[in-house]
Amino acid sequence: MFAVSVVGLGLVQYQYLQVGLSLARAQFNDKIGRAVKQIKTDLNHENELTFLMGKALTDDDTYFTLSLDSLRDASSHYYRDFLQDRLLMQGIKTDFTYVIYSKDSVLSLRSPDYRENRKDRLRYPIELTGYLPELTGKRMVTELQFRDLNAYFLSQLNGLTIPGLIFIIVIIIAVIWVLRSLYRQHSIITTTNDFINNLTHELKTPVFSIGLATKMLMEREKEAGSTRFLHIIKQQNERLKQHIDKVLQLATLEKKKKYIRMEETDFYPHLKKFAEDFREMTVLEQVDFRYKLHGDHYPVRGEVIHILNAVGNLLDNAKKYSENVPKVTLEAHTEREKLYISVTDNGIGIPEKEREQVFEKFFRGGTGDIHRVEGYGLGLNYVKQVVRSHKGKILVDSEPGKGTKVTIVIPLLP
């Protein structure tokens, strides 16, 4: 399609050029017409030039003290100057050759490079009147010939053709650029699909462990009632749940936004329940978690599951990226038609230069240590996409070594 358009554009350009050329040609003819008229008028009477030419044409060397050859050379030279001057008066600057001859005798004057009957030249014969025909007693004609006219016309049209060509080249470059970024986009999608394939494979390991542990637990419980295996189940189950969540998040966001169903709801009870559940879970882990939800109605238009998942990702990060016992706070309040949900931690913080990058897909913080922490670099990208689809924004406030506060801002319903 692109190739067709460029060829089409080229053809249109070519047509314009043709039109331009014929216009230039018409204009040229017009100018020549005026120059010819002027030349005819000026040669009508006896003056210094016609007198000299008359002597040269009739081979009369009695008046001047010059040889016949010099006389012819001189008059040819002055005639050339005269013609050039008349052409210039009409704005014609191209090279030309000329001849002046009589219809039915051998009398003639010509420019040195004049050739008869050349097809590639434009010819303008002028029948002379007045002094010269009367002097020689013959019909006199002078003829102007122009060569390389296309080049001349093109040089006049350069103002149009060169910008036209430049713009076509710019279009070609722009399209190539777009195609390249499309290609890059395509390869990102391919990596994502590979990733999903690997991940689903990985999922089988914890599933297998859970199956095995459950089986053993059932055997053991019959005898002693130990809870060790119960913990394994719980842990592995949690991991599995997170993995599955990630796949689901990715799959959801990879497809069109249609997968997020926007509904008008009160988000407050959902967030409250979510915070309570999270608190219960952190009791088992070594995490100091508090939450404070101001107000009691958060009317929003959006999909609850996705916003909760986003908050879950922030809480997960707050827990993960700290060196000691994590102190995590979830806070929410409404202000000027907006809902603010923030998660604060006392963790390692995000360095200034990474503050934009953390939202990129598959980006993980660079400092060696945190790679002990598991992760895919998807969490914040997901949060960003969810927030964007709710027409909201994310604020990051972080001080390396001290902690991080990430805030989600979502517009409230009026």
302 binds, among ligand ATP, Mg ion, none (CB under 5 to 8 A by kind): none
Among 43, 348, 387, 408, indicate the residue that binds ligand ATP (CB under 6 A). 348
Segment lying near ligand ATP (by CB under 6 A), choices 85-93, 292-300, 332-340, 363-371: 363-371
Q: According to the binding rule CB under 5 A, does residue 347 interact with Mg ion?
A: no
Member of 142, 317, 344, 398 binding Mg ion (CB under 5 A): 317
Contact partner, 347, from Mg ion, ligand ATP, none, Cβ < 5-8 Å per class: ligand ATP
**Coil/strand/helix, residue 177:** helix
309 contributes a contact to ligand ATP by CB under 6 A:
no
Which residue type is seen at 123? R
Residue length of the chain: 414
Decide if residue 365 touches Mg ion (CB under 5 A). no
Question: What is the per-residue DSSP string for 102-129?
Answer: ETTSS-EEE-TT--TT-TTSEEEEEE--
**Half-sphere exposure of residue 154, counting CA atoms within 13 Å on the CB side?**
6
- The number of residues that bind ligand ATP (CB under 6 A) is 22
Helix intervals (H) in 126-148: 131-136
Q: Does 302 bind ligand ATP (CB under 6 A)?
A: no
Q: What is the DSSP string of 268-292?
A: HHHHHHHHHHHHHHHHHTT-EEEEE
DSSP state of 412: P
Q: At closest approach, how far in Å is the CB of 365 from ligand ATP?
A: 2
Question: 221 or 356, CB closer to ligand ATP?
Answer: 356
**What would the x/- binding string for ligand ATP be over residues 367 to 396, using CB under 6 A?**
---x----xxxxxxx---------------
Give the separation between CA 385 and CA 260, rounded to whole angstroms: 11
Nearest distance, CB of residue 411 and ligand ATP, angstroms: 24
Select from 133, 206, 302, 349 the one that contacts ligand ATP (CB under 6 A): 349
In the complex, the smallest distance separating the C-beta of residue 262 from ligand ATP, rounded to whole angstroms, is: 24
Is 96:145 a contact under the CB 8 Å cutoff?
A: yes
Does the protein bind ligand ATP through residue 358 (CB under 6 A)?
yes
> For 34, how many CA atoms within 13 A lie in the half-sphere containing its CB?
13
Nearest to 347 by CA among 322, 381, 382: 322
Q: Does 379 bind Mg ion (CB under 5 A)?
A: yes
Any idea what DSSP says for residue 403? E
Residue 370 contact among ligand ATP, Mg ion, none, beta carbon within 5 to 8 Å by kind: ligand ATP
Bridge pairing between strands 288-293 and 327-335 = parallel
* CB proximity list for 148: less than 8 A, separation 6 or greater: 94, 95
Q: Which stretch binds ligand ATP (CB under 6 A): 44-52, 145-153, 285-293, 313-321?
A: 313-321
- Decide if residue 351 touches ligand ATP (CB under 6 A): no
Q: Does 312 bind Mg ion (CB under 5 A)?
A: no
Amino acid found at 10: G
Chain residues binding ligand ATP by CB under 6 A are 313, 317-318, 321, 345, 347-350, 358, 363-365, 370, 375-381, 404
